[in-house]
Each structure stands twice: as structure tokens, then as C-alpha cells.
Amino acid sequence: MNHLVRGLLGSALALAAITVARPAEAWSRDPVRIAGTDRYDTAARLSRSAFPDGAPAVIVVSGDAFPDGLVAGPLAALRGGPILLTPADALPDSTANELRRLHPGSVEIVGGSAAVGDAALALISAAAGVTATRIAGEDRYATAAAVASVFPTQPAAAFVASGASFPDALAGGAAAALVKAPMVLVQPTSAPAAAVAQLTRLHPASLVVLGGASAVSDAVFNQLRPLAPTIGRIAGVDRYATAALVASNRVPAATQALLATGTNFADALAAAPLAARLGAPILLTAPACAPSGTIDGLRFLRWPNLTVVGGSQAVSSRGLASVPCQKVPDGQIVPGVSAVTRLLAGPRVAHVVTVDERQGVEIRSTTASGALTGRLTTTSISRQWGALVAINGDFFLPSGEPVHAFASSGRLIKAPGLQESMVGFDSRQPNTGYIGVPDMTMTADLDSGPLTVDRVNDGIPTDSEVALYTVESPQPVDVGGPACTATLTPVGPPTIVASGDTNQQYTVARAACGTNVVTAAGGDVLTALATNPNSVVIGALASGTTVNFHWRVNPTWSGVLDANGVNLPLVTNGAVAPEILVGTVPFFRERAPRTAIGWLPDGRELLVTVDGRQDGYSIGMTPRELADFMVSLGAVSAANLDGGGSTAMSIRGVLVNQPSDAAGERPVGTALVVVPVGSQPTRGAPVTQTASAVNPATDSASLGGWSLAQVEQGQPVSAPVRRAAEQFLASQGPR
């Protein structure tokens, strides 16, 4: 069964960029959304997120028109409070309730009575318990100048934006709020006297003009030039690119960003105080997808954690996931990695990536969170690694735990797992991979001699077994009886030794006997029940002793640092594998989205996703049809990965296929990533996205259908896999 195959942004003027410390160990998460039933409720929810314990001040602006709100963000940051919205002649319950919760010491309304009427002002005062005051001028430009008048002189920067439209000022307002810098509004072809007067009074060290010449003309730019020692313009080809340039210029090291629609103003206006508190820029996006400028901005920021502002009408699930508005083009991604979209009869849409590891890239396996459990979308996992390409990996339990054995970066974090097919990658020989049934060998070399390790993070040991629990496993573990344990501290990263084994060197931190509960939080833990004779050896290990733990997925597989479970081979020796010809359960007979990995005769790898369950676009494939397709691509070996709604392919951080789940891309447990040789993700405390609404146990091409296939073929399965089979049967109704 074992088979061996060989073979941004444009430049922007640097204007006192804000430095936000990027944590050395940040761990990306899937986007989260802050949204209410309407713009007023969304603003109130943003306020609760930014100021959970109340605020000393509140700024209130019109939710019906944008001009006054454009300059409210910096004022709110200066006062230390949120922005709330109201219509002209009423006060929404959501706004009133938030005013009561905040219990501010002051409330300021930006805008005249036409924007927020006197009746609304009275209601605001009553709800807040403090008399609201008003900052207003005779028009939007004078109001902006009046707001600027409360700022102290000689700020590091002042911002200038068009008062005729809102997009440029939305992103600029957040950047100004970050440094509590004022913003003034000008007309496209002239600078009002009130704006000039305030900028003259302020005498900022620099002026930041937002938007291109159609928003703020060169004549206005030159008119403002004498008012500050330096002046520069930040402008992109459109509002989305401008927002991205503001982010890259002002907050280039941000680890978080807010994402709001660029087609309306309300959500982004109210988000500026939260952005300031998070040290985050505001990026703009289209409702149904991410424009190229937004994608470029996110890439420049190395895919920060996203908080999406507004409901699905403002930013859809595709916009939330930064699915690009323009199709990612086929062709070379980098030397050695190329992509092509195949449109097949049916219709069927397949995405095929070819990887030549001789060009300085490699395929790695990874869990979603860096731990054994946890779920993120394939795209989010891709962004953690800065991957060129990523596809979803092994079948996973609802917790995200892979069902098969798993190794990542030389860390064996589950074994033996189910004794089904796996793939492994030889880290020493480019274009060398393995497909076959695992036959794990794991040994701890102690001073007293070699000790066989029977399982890693895979259940409770029997009386005759030795187990290793690593820091990646859920903690703690009750082994069911007294045991002896040794806590081990890794010494350096795992390495491949001369024999071809993967080796992890440890030092013993401590050893003891007696406890039922194993906690690996302080290091990996070697353990055996007290009824096992080997427990005495483990319990007697002296602190500081060196222990070498070495393993192989299969005795014939060499140099493996990364290994990922698959459920069955598709292609063996260039022909359809016999294993997929015998199944009759839904997993084998239904067309669905599928994911596969394969090798060409020269050793180059194929990563393939097939979209499905979308009539008129792509109906998907059965495993046999997928095998035929892999043969047609020239694969001499190939294997099936998780499918159904889990099927996903990401290229340079953006989703390129079309998931079948209505909610969009499904959070998964593992992925395969294509990265430059030697890459590692940024690791830290994992942030796990809530599981999707679709249970993979009810998916015929994912956990559910696969589990039923295992049970009905009489394969030995774990209790969670059996439960998944039962859930799948229950979801199908009477048979």
C-alpha cells in the first residue's frame, strides 16, 4: 500500500506613521462581526464593545447624513468616548439604552438643529442624565472647523478631507482618531475660510490630505501648503485603495483592522472610536466581495484579525471573508507554483495547483490553531502562514481534532489515529512524498534502554501501553487510575537524524507517581498507568536527564516532518485505486465538493479542489470521478482529503473556489499549505472560530459520510467517529 513518489500597495508619502507593536506571538482568527438591527443599533453595539465599563463622554451625530460625523471620530477619541447615531427628530431605543448604560459625564452633539433637532437633543439629555451641548457651524465646513477648535495647537498631524463625499474621510477619521488629530473638511476646489483659520491656529507638524485630485484638487493642496511644515496626499485609484493606503501609511504594523462597507457611511463613522482603542485602521469593502485595493491592504498588513462592522446587507459573508471581487487569475503564483481552473462537463469546476518543490517551496501540514483541537477556515490558516496556496486537510471531529495521525513541523501531535491512508512529505528530498497506510513506530530512548511509546494525544493508555501527551492536546487528561509521569521540556526543534527518523530531544523537568490526572501545560508528558511495569522507569527519571523521542509514520517513510491523514487512495501506479470501487454508501455514490492531493511522474505535487452542490455552476464529483480526473491530470498517485462543505482552496490569502455551505467557507481542523522552504506560522494563544452552522457529521462527503463508510465496511473506529456515523444516518431519515 505504501507508495513513494520522487521526483501593494503603491507608494504613499510617509507622514508620521503610527507604530503599533505587533505581538511576537499573534495568532490570527476568522473574522468576527459587530452588527445590530439597524445603523443605530450597530453604533450602540460598537460602543459596548469599545467601552464595556462606561465612558466619560459621548459624541452624538446624525445617522441620516455624513458630513458632521466625518469629523466626530477624532473628537470622540479626544474625549475618550464612543459615537452614537440618531435621526433628526427622534431617539432610537438602542441609542437611548446605550446612553443610560454609559452614564457619561458629558454629551456633545456635532451638527446643527437640522441634523439633530432640539427635540432629539432633549431626549438625549434625558437618557444620558446630563445636559447635552452642541458643536455646530453654519455649514458642514464651519462645523468641522468648530470641532477642530477644541483640539490643542501644534498637533503632530491634522487631516484634510473632502466634505462633498464620505469615503476618503471614513478611513482617515479612524487614522486621525488613533493620534487624536483633528480633521477639517474642504470643498473639492477651494478651502473654506473657517478651515484655513483653524489650520492656521492649529499649526500642525504635518498635513495629511485624503483622496485624489477629484476629491481635493491640486489647487486646494497648494493653498494649504503654507499651513504646515510638511504636507502629503494619500490617494488610491478608488475609495478602497485609498483606505488601504491610509492603513499602510499610518498603521503599518497593525495586528487588527476593522472592515466596513465603502458604499455607505454610518457603520464606519461609529466604528472610529473602537478602531482607535484597538490601534486598528478601518478598511472599506464592497458589500458582496473584497475589491483589489482591500485585498492589497490586508496583504500588506499580513492579514490582521478582522472585526467586520455592519450586517450582511452591508458586508456579506463573502465580503467578510475577503473573497475577491475579481477572480484570481490562473498562471504562475511564484516560480514552481502555478494554478489553473478547469471547466468540465457536468458542469464541474476544478481548481488545480501544481507544485515543484525544487523551486524553493514545500508542502506543510498544519492544524487550525496550532493545537490538536480548534477550527478556522482554510483561508484564515493560509494567512497565518503567509501561504502561497492552502487546501483543507484531514477529516476532523467537531472539536477540530484530525481523525487520523498528524504531524506538523516535526511535532507528532496525534498517533496512531485510525489505521487508514495518510500522506507524508520527505523534508530532505524535494518532490518526494508518500501515500499509504501508517504503521507508526515511536520510541523514547532512556538511559535504561528504549521505551516503546504506543500513543500520542490519542486516548487513554491501557495497562500495557505508554502514552505521550503534548502541550498541543486538550488539558487535563484523566487516565483513569494512578500513573507515573515525567514532564519533558523540548530542547530545540525536531530534527531528522541519520536513520531518517524524526527526533525530538527533551530534558526531564520532573517525574512523579500517583496522580490520575495528566496536565501537559508545562511541557510534554510521558506516562504509564501504575499497573504497567514501565511506570516505575518513567517515575524514576531524574531531573535534567536527556530523552530522545523518535518516530516514523511508516518504517519505509524517511525524513517526514509533516504528515496528514487522508481517507483512501484515489490513484495507484497511474490507475484508479481499487479501494474506491467497492463503496455503496452516500460517500461513494453522491456527487459533492472534493479535495485531493496527487503526484506527477516527475514528483511534482497536485493540489486539487472540485466545487459541487451548485446546480448550473458545478455539481461536484464522486470519489471515482475524482480519481478519473486525477488520472487525466497525469497523476501516478493521489489520495482523497476531506470534502463537502470543507472543500476550500486559498491562493495568497484569498479564497479561489466557491464553497457549498450557504454561510460560506467552513471552519476546518487542518490544512496543507504551500510555503517557501523553512516557513513557520506566527504562533501563540490560539483563537478558535465558532463552529459553522453546518455540522460536518451531516455532510455525506465530509465527516458524516466518511464515518458511515468506515462503520459499514467493518473498520475499527473510535467512539467519536461512530457517533458521527450515527448522526449522519439520523440526518438522512429512514433508509
Q: Tens of pLDDT along 533-549?
A: 999 999 999 999 999 99
Q: What's 111's DSSP letter?
A: S
Same domain, 72 and 213: yes
Confidence of residue 284 (pLDDT cuts 50, 70, 90): very high
Quick check: 246 pLDDT over 90?
yes
505-536 core/surface letters (b: 16 or more CB in 10 A; e: else):
bbebbebebeeeebebeebbbbbbbbebebbe
User: Residue 549 belongs to what H/E stretch?
Assistant: strand 546-552
Same domain, 46 and 170: yes
Same domain, 402 and 452: no
Q: Which residue do the cell numbers 487528561 mark?
A: 477
* pLDDT for res 320: 81
Quick check: 8 pLDDT over 80?
no
According to DSSP, the β-strands at 83-86 and 57-62 are parallel
Name residues whose C-beta falls within 8 Å of residue 179's C-beta, 6 or more positions apart in sequence: 16, 18, 155, 156, 157
Same domain, 57 and 171: yes
Residue that wins the pLDDT comparison between 692 and 416:
416
Same domain, 660 and 596: yes
Is the backbone peptide bond immediately before 347 cis, with ω within 30 degrees of 0?
Answer: yes
Cα 211 from Cα 169, distance rounded (Å): 8
Same domain, 72 and 176: yes
Q: Is residue 291 part of a domain?
A: no
Same domain, 99 and 153: yes
* Closest of 52, 55, 39, 18 to residue 156, by C-alpha: 18
Quick check: 589 pLDDT over 50?
yes
Same domain, 460 and 429: no
* Closest of 162, 145, 178 to residue 249, by C-alpha: 178
Quick check: 21 pLDDT over 80?
no
Q: Is residue 80 part of a domain?
A: yes
Same domain, 351 and 479: no
Confidence of residue 522 (pLDDT cuts 50, 70, 90): confident
Domain termination site, one of 204, 220, 238: 238
Same domain, 567 and 602: yes
Q: Is residue 365 part of a domain?
A: yes
Q: Is residue 269 part of a domain?
A: no
Which residues constitute the domain of residue 631?
A: 333-436+560-680
Q: Give the number of C-alpha atoms closer than 13 A to the C-alpha of residue 692, restricted to the C-beta side.
A: 26
Q: Report helix, strand or coil for 403.
A: coil
Cα 407 from Cα 477, distance rounded (Å): 20
Q: In degrees to the nearest 10, what's the CA dihedral of 54, 59, 63, 64?
A: 170
Domain termination site, one of 219, 238, 257: 238
Name residues whose C-beta falls within 8 Å of residue 45's C-beta, 6 or more positions apart in sequence: 34, 35, 36
Q: Is residue 522 part of a domain?
A: yes
According to DSSP, the β-strands at 502-513 and 230-234 are unpaired
Confidence of residue 414 (pLDDT cuts 50, 70, 90): very high
Same domain, 548 and 411: no
Cα 260 from Cα 315, distance rounded (Å): 7
Total domains present in the chain: 3
Cα 98 from Cα 43, distance rounded (Å): 9
Q: Is residue 43 part of a domain?
A: yes
* pLDDT for res 693: 65
Same domain, 85 and 187: yes
* pLDDT for res 587: 92
Domain termination site, one of 552, 575, 608: 552
Q: Is residue 314 part of a domain?
A: no
